[in-house]
């Protein structure tokens, strides 16, 4: 048979035109190597970063290392059934978690599955949200201007936190970091009566990373006892879980928070703690053979925390007009309280400095203070809030204005206290005042105070009403005074609870007069 060149070219042309480039790339691969919760997979040409990969037996994995001839993934969940040579499929999706009202009051894992034995959580596919999201853009944001009251005197008075702020809680182990968070969550009951359907109610999310199960059980019990669970979600990746679940859980928790934020709600989220998340990330990355950097962390450990915390923000009130697809209502916010554990108070280690530089301030808890009985053990000297001042209630701002300076002067002179009567009058007065202020800033656990109660207590200290009261009776005095105000001047207290109330002379005179009356009957 004779072949005409024109026929050959026409056949070739037809073949080339009909060539489907996508057909040759595969969505199926094979496990090359598996162990320690990570797997290398060959043949997944099209795999995306962070893509969800399906292993046999319903085990899921996530692609973290895209190399020339293989893909490194972490396995989520029980990996013992995965073998070399198994066939895997890429799914084209990234990990998503269920979100929404149904999650409230529940304890879930990093993938949103219930852990509390209270049955399934009813959510639909529409409730699923990818755990990684971009943060609100510059135009979609607004400055922090509303207070996020924690109910803790030393914080609300001197290191105020605003809605949309990221305030780091940093300290050694066992210095009361978790305790601060629990109190702040309990205090949110004051925002909307504890009813999650009230739009004023702040939604809370407690994300436990690498904690002991017993700690998480305790937190849950405390929140239940205080009636705080109905508006709270606990996202738990305990120390006993895979490292992959531990480092992913903060992103899942944030996705759940964003669902509320995008609907115009206010959310308080606590990550307890990000040190353990960094440990888990380092563990996974070393197993995947990423080159180790400083302190053996992979080079992108800064990004691990910055892309997480950037998602906390105050959304502009007109965000719905700017981006109707994302925001069903503007004005929502996510306030985050990340926790970092230090070793021997060393805030200059790698992870602490990273997170200090990402956040808008830090609350530094000091072991020495904690053991000397100053609890919460906030070191006022080096704790700051870089944006919250704008969000502090005006009355609190006025009353607590001199507190920081008074305490700093007291700390400076404290060493001389032992010389007693040899000191000049001014020094003695500073020492006297300082000792009482330290006493009244102490606060027990699970006793968050309303704004008005804090204001009148601190007023008693800073106005000098306490100077004649014995130091050890100062806490009883201010507590009694707050109760007295509640009973005798309920209208004043109601006013002081308002966010906008100014500390007018009229108001001040009323509180002062009441304080004098109370002192007469107290002494």
Q: Which residues are catalytic?
A: 386
Residues sharing a CB contact under 8 Å with residue 2, sequence separation 6 or more, in sequence order: none
Nearer CB in complex with ligand ATP: 316/377: 377
Please state, in angstroms and rounded to a whole number, the distance separating the CA atoms of residues 511 and 517: 10
Binding track over 334-353 against ligand ATP, x by CB under 6 A: -------x------------
Binding residue (CB under 6 A) for ligand ATP from 353, 445, 495, 512? 445
User: Which one of the spans 71-79, 227-235, 440-448, 487-495 is the region binding ligand ATP (CB under 6 A)?
Assistant: 440-448
Position 249 contacts Mg ion (CB under 5 A): no
Nearer CB in complex with ligand ATP: 171/361: 171
Question: Which one-letter DSSP state was computed for residue 203?
Answer: E
- 386: its two tokens: 């870089």
Please state, in angstroms and rounded to a whole number, the distance separating the CA atoms of residues 213 and 198: 32
Least CB distance to ligand ATP at residue 507 (A) = 30
Least CB distance to ligand ATP at residue 380 (A) = 15
Please state, in angstroms and rounded to a whole number, the distance separating the CA atoms of residues 481 and 457: 7
Nearer CB in complex with Mg ion: 152/474: 152
> Which one of ligand ATP, Mg ion, none interacts with residue 376, CB within 5 to 8 A by kind?
ligand ATP
Position 175 contacts Mg ion (CB under 5 A): no
Q: How far is CA 6 from the centre of its chain?
A: 71
User: Which one of the spans 127-135, 220-228, 292-300, 437-445 is the region binding ligand ATP (CB under 6 A)?
Assistant: 437-445
Residues in the chain: 523
> Which one of ligand ATP, Mg ion, none interacts with residue 174, CB within 5 to 8 A by kind?
ligand ATP
Position 282 contacts ligand ATP (CB under 6 A): no
Least CB distance to Mg ion at residue 239 (A) = 12
Nearer CB in complex with Mg ion: 242/272: 272
Binding residue (CB under 6 A) for ligand ATP from 444, 471, 498, 516? 444
Specify the residue for token string 């922090």.
144
Nearer CB in complex with ligand ATP: 213/428: 213
Where in 376-405 is the site for ligand ATP (CB under 6 A)?
376
> Which one of ligand ATP, Mg ion, none interacts with residue 449, CB within 5 to 8 A by kind?
none
Nearer CB in complex with Mg ion: 180/396: 180
Cα dist. 48→58, 67, 429 in Å?
A: 20, 11, 67
Position 372 contacts ligand ATP (CB under 6 A): no
State the number of binding residues for ligand ATP (CB under 6 A): 14
Question: Which one-letter DSSP state was computed for residue 317?
Answer: T
Least CB distance to ligand ATP at residue 138 (A) = 35
Please, what is the Cα angle at 347 between 342 and 351, to 5 degrees? Answer: 70
User: Which one of the spans 174-182, 384-392, 465-473, 476-484 is the region binding Mg ion (CB under 5 A)?
Assistant: 174-182
Ramachandran class of 142: left when φ > 0, alpha when ψ lies in -120 to 50, beta otherwise = beta
Where in 163-192 is the site for ligand ATP (CB under 6 A)?
171, 173-179
Least CB distance to ligand ATP at residue 284 (A) = 22
Nearer CB in complex with Mg ion: 177/290: 177
> Which one of ligand ATP, Mg ion, none interacts with residue 501, CB within 5 to 8 A by kind?
none
List strands edge to edge, sheet with 384-385: 107-108, 232-237, 203-209, 266-272, 333-341, 168-171, 361-365, 384-385
User: Which one of the spans 31-39, 170-178, 199-207, 302-310 is the region binding Mg ion (CB under 5 A)?
Assistant: 170-178
- Beta carbons of 80 and 37 less than 8 angstroms apart: no
Segment (H or E) for 334: strand 333-341
Residues sharing a CB contact under 8 Å with residue 473, sequence separation 6 or more, in sequence order: none
Cα torsion 419, 424, 430, 434 to 10°: value is: 20
> Which one of Mg ion, ligand ATP, none interacts with residue 375, CB within 5 to 8 A by kind?
ligand ATP
Q: What sections of 188-330 are H helices per DSSP? A: 189-192, 213-225, 243-261, 274-287, 301-309, 319-322
Position 375 contacts ligand ATP (CB under 6 A): yes
Nearer CB in complex with Mg ion: 134/214: 214
Binding residue (CB under 5 A) for Mg ion from 178, 220, 342, 406? 178
Q: In DSSP terms, which residues pair with 361 in a beta bridge?
A: 385
- Beta carbons of 238 and 220 less than 8 angstroms apart: no
Nearer CB in complex with Mg ion: 70/246: 246
Position 199 contacts ligand ATP (CB under 6 A): no
> Which one of ligand ATP, Mg ion, none interacts with residue 179, CB within 5 to 8 A by kind?
ligand ATP
- Beta carbons of 188 and 205 less than 8 angstroms apart: no
Position 368 contacts ligand ATP (CB under 6 A): no
Among 279, 421, 256, CA closest to 341: 279
- Beta carbons of 390 and 145 less than 8 angstroms apart: yes
The full DSSP string for 364-430 is EE-HHHHHTT-SS-B-TTT-EESSGGGGS-HHHHHHTTTHHHHHHHHHHHGGGGGGGGGS-HHHHHH
Footprint of Mg ion on this chain (CB under 5 A)?
A: 177-178
Footprint of ligand ATP on this chain (CB under 6 A)?
A: 171, 173-179, 341, 375-376, 443-445
């Amino acid at each position: 048979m004779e072949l005409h060149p024109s026929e050959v070219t026409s056949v070739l042309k037809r073949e080339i035109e009909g060539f489907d480039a996508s057909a040759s790339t595969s969505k199926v691969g094979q496990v090359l190597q598996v162990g320690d919760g990570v797997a290398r997979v060959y043949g997944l040409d099209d795999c995306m970063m962070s893509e969800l990969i399906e292993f046999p037996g319903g085990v899921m994995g996530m692609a973290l290392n895209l190399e020339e001839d293989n893909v490194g993934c972490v396995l989520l969940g029980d990996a013992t059934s995965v073998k070399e040579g198994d066939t895997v499929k890429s799914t084209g999706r990234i990990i998503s978690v269920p979100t929404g009202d149904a999650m409230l009051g529940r304890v879930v894992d990093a993938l949103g599955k219930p852990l509390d034995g209270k049955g399934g959580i009813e959510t639909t596919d529409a409730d699923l949200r990818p755990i990684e999201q971009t943060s609100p853009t510059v135009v979609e944001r607004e400055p922090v201007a509303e207070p996020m009251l924690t109910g803790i005197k030393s914080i609300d008075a001197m290191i105020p936190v605003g809605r949309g702020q990221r305030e780091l809680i940093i300290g050694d182990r066992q210095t009361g970091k978790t305790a601060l968070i629990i109190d702040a969550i309990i205090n949110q009951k004051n925002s909307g009566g504890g009813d999650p359907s009230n739009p004023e109610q702040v939604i809370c999310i407690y994300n436990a990373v690498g904690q002991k199960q017993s700690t998480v059980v305790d937190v849950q019990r405390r929140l239940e006892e205080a009636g705080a669970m109905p508006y709270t979600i606990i996202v738990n990746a305990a120390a006993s879980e895979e490292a992959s679940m531990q480092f992913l859980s903060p992103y899942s928790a944030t996705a759940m928070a964003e669902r509320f934020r995008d609907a115009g709600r206010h959310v308080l989220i606590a990550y307890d703690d990000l040190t353990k998340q960094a440990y888990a990330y380092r563990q996974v990355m070393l197993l995947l053979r990423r080159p180790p950097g400083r302190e053996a962390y992979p080079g992108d450990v800064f990004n691990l925390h910055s892309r997480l915390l950037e998602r906390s923000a105050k959304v502009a009130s007109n965000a719905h007009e700017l981006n109707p697809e994302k925001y069903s209502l503007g004005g929502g916010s996510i306030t985050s309280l990340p926790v970092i554990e230090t070793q021997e108070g060393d805030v200059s280690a790698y992870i602490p400095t990273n997170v200090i530089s990402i956040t808008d301030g830090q609350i530094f808890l000091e072991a020495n203070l904690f053991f000397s009985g100053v609890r919460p053990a906030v070191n006022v000297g080096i704790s700051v809030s870089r944006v919250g001042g704008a969000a502090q209630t005006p009355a609190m701002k006025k009353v607590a204005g001199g507190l920081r300076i008074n305490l700093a002067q007291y700390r400076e002179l404290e060493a001389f206290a032992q010389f007693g009567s040899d000191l000049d009058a001014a020094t003695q007065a500073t020492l006297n005042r300082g000792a009482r202020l330290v006493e009244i800033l102490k606060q027990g656990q699970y006793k968050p105070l309303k704004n008005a109660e804090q204001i009148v207590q601190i007023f008693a200290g800073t106005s000098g009403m306490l100077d004649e009261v014995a130091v050890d009776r100062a806490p009883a005095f201010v507590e009694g005074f707050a109760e007295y105000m509640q009973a005798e001047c309920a209208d004043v207290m109601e006013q002081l609870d308002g966010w906008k109330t100014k500390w007018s002379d009229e108001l001040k005179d009323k509180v002062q007069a009441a304080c004098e009356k109370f002192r007469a009957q107290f002494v």
